[in-house]
Amino acid sequence: MDDGIDHEQLHPAIRGLKTVCRCNNIKYRTIERAIRNGACTMTQIALCTTATTGHCGGSCTPDVQQMIDELAIQRPLAAPAASAAAWWVRKQ
């Protein structure tokens, strides 16, 4: 969202009205809602909102990726659970 406006300083209601994907008329709040509901990849955002799928070829992709980076919950990768029968588990 490199349009010369400091979006961090905008009131959330005003920021939510900004159009991110012009081809499909997708607003900031629509993408934000999809991210809050669990969409955390570009493909999931595209399926939920149709953002990045317009005839322009996805010129809003960097903006959507920035939103994902800022808003998505960062989850650490979980280590696979080891069963007692696994070869690397020490038998007592």
Task: Give Cβ neighbours of residue 83 (< 8 Å, ≥ 6 apart).
Answer: 89
Tell me if 22 sits within 8 A of 55, measured CB to CB.
no
Tell me the two tokens of residue 56: 């322009």
Q: For 4-60, how does the pLDDT look when each residue is reduced to its tens digit (9 = 90+)?
A: 666 567 787 888 889 999 999 999 999 999 999 989 899 999 999 999 998 988 899
- What integer pLDDT is reported at residue 80 of this predicted model? 62
Tell me the two tokens of residue 41: 């990849």
Top pLDDT among 1 and 27 is at 27
CB neighbour burial string for 40-56, b if at least 16 within 10 angstroms, e if fewer: beeebbbebbebbbbee
Q: For 36-51, how does the pLDDT look when each residue is reduced to its tens digit (9 = 90+)?
A: 998 989 999 999 999 9
Side chain identity at residue 62, one-letter code: P
Reported pTM = 0.69
